[in-house]
Amino acid sequence: MKKKLAFLLVFVLTVGLFAVNAVSDHTVYAKTAQMYMEFPDTIKKEDTFQMKIVLDSDVELYSVDAYLSYDAEKLEFIPETEAVTGTAGILELKDTYPEETKNIVYTISFKALETGETEIGLNDISLIDYADMDYIEVASSSQMLDIGINKKVEMDSSLADLIVAPGDLTEEFSPDQTEYEMHVPLDVELIGVTAIPAEEDSVVELDMPDKLKVGENVITITVTALSGNVQSYKITVYREEIEDTEDTEEEATEEETTALSSEEESGFETAPTEEATVSDTEEDTTQDDLEPDERITENTDSAEETEDQQETLQNTEE
């Protein structure tokens, strides 16, 4: 009986050891992977640079699918690989691998368009392992880039000329002077501004009202050079104020009073001349204005003179 119990105990232990070994051979380990971005230490405006996306897994991978987001106003994507495609602002990284692939690096090229900070994000990452086609979770990530001024390219952010119409600036334009004034009449509601940069590749932005209001109006001109240098010019436009009707009437009344006073002064000075004219007229009184006796006397004298002239003529003939 004891022999039977011993044999049974040995059998149970043997089976248990085989079971433990079987479980050990099928232990399930957590599958891990990481995906991250790398950038150059320095990025400057107008530079073409390369970023890297690094994929590192502890199991063999079958495929990857992820999205890259960026600011299309600050960065321009330069296509170089079939694995990365997309439109401005969103790129898709999609690829499949041979059985032995656990690590891979993708290189993506960009051109820096503007200075300042910008963010690039790596999102919606989907990895599939090769053994059983399971999904492997990978966290999203993002990184800030600082695009600096590039001193190797043009830095001149000034204007070569500034033209306005209708009207003129109160001062002659100079690239070093950044503030100007001009005055326009009330009937001018719009003006044209032509700003010519010193460097043809500079970007010129104009901020001005659609319609001039009565009084003060401000026009701002911003020039950005390739290097990222920025300079602003300001034009203050004064549109003529509306005239006050009461003031106009008062001015007209004052002008009339002044004119009347001038006429009166002129009249007093010419009075003697008017008296002389009357005197001359009295001297030129016609025969019709004489009394009857005066007219008879004058006629008699004239008749006597005529007779004397006739006698003198007859004596001369004899």
Distance CA 74, CA 190 (A): 34
Domain made up of 33-148: CATH architecture? Sandwich (2.60)
Instruction: Kindly write down the DSSP assignment for every residue of 38-87, as one continuous string.
Output: E--S-EETT-EEEEEEEEEESS-EEEEEEEEE--TTTEEEE---TTEEEE
Mean pLDDT of 105-127: 93
Residue 106, strand partner residues: 53
Q: Nearest 5°: phi and psi at 5?
A: -65, -40
Mean pLDDT of 275-298: 46
Q: From start to end of the chain, where are the E strands?
A: 33-38, 43-44, 48-57, 61-69, 75-78, 84-87, 90-96, 103-112, 116-129, 135-136, 141-148, 159-165, 179-184, 192-197, 203-207, 215-224, 230-239
pLDDT in tens, 248-265: 556 556 666 666 655 555
pLDDT level of residue 286 (50, 70, 90 thresholds) = very low
Q: Nearest 5°: phi and psi at 16?
A: -65, -40
Predicted local distance difference test score (pLDDT) of residue 88? 86
Predicted local distance difference test score (pLDDT) of residue 201? 86
More confident of the two residues 29 and 60: 60
Distance CA 10, CA 21 (A): 17
Residues recorded for the chain: 318
Residue-range domain boundaries for the chain: 33-148, 159-239
Mean pLDDT of 26-41: 78
pLDDT in tens, 206-232: 999 999 999 999 999 999 988 888 999
CA-based nearest residue to 59, from 109, 13, 128, 113: 128
Residue 159 backbone class (left: φ over 0; alpha: ψ -120 to 50; beta: rest):
beta
Instruction: Give, for 207, the enclosing helix (H) or strand (E).
Output: strand 203-207
Instruction: Give, for 160, the enclosing helix (H) or strand (E).
Output: strand 159-165
Side chain identity at 108, as an amino acid letter?
I
Contact 27, 130 (CB under 8 A): no
Q: CA geometry: angle at 28 spanning 26 and 32, to 5°? A: 145
Q: What is the dihedral sign for C-alpha 143, 146, 147, 151?
A: negative
Predicted local distance difference test score (pLDDT) of residue 137? 85
Mean pLDDT of 166-177: 94
Q: Please, what CATH class does the domain formed by 159-239 belong to?
A: mainly beta
Please, what is the end-to-end C-alpha distance for the chain in angstroms? Answer: 225
pLDDT level of residue 162 (50, 70, 90 thresholds) = very high
Predicted local distance difference test score (pLDDT) of residue 159? 95
CB-based burial label for 281 (10 Å; 0-12, 13-18, 19+): exposed
More confident of the two residues 234 and 274: 234
pLDDT in tens, 40-99: 999 998 899 999 999 999 889 999 999 999 999 999 999 988 999 998 899 999 999 987
Residue 113, strand partner residues: none
- Domains 33-148 and 159-239 belong to one CATH topology: yes
Sort strands 179-184 and 192-197 into parallel, antiparallel or unpaired: unpaired
Mean pLDDT of 257-278: 51
More confident of the two residues 152 and 225: 225
Does the pLDDT value for residue 20 go beyond 80?
A: no
Distance CA 174, CA 172 (A): 7
pLDDT level of residue 242 (50, 70, 90 thresholds) = confident
More confident of the two residues 130 and 181: 181
Q: Which two tokens stand for residue 186?
A: 């009330």
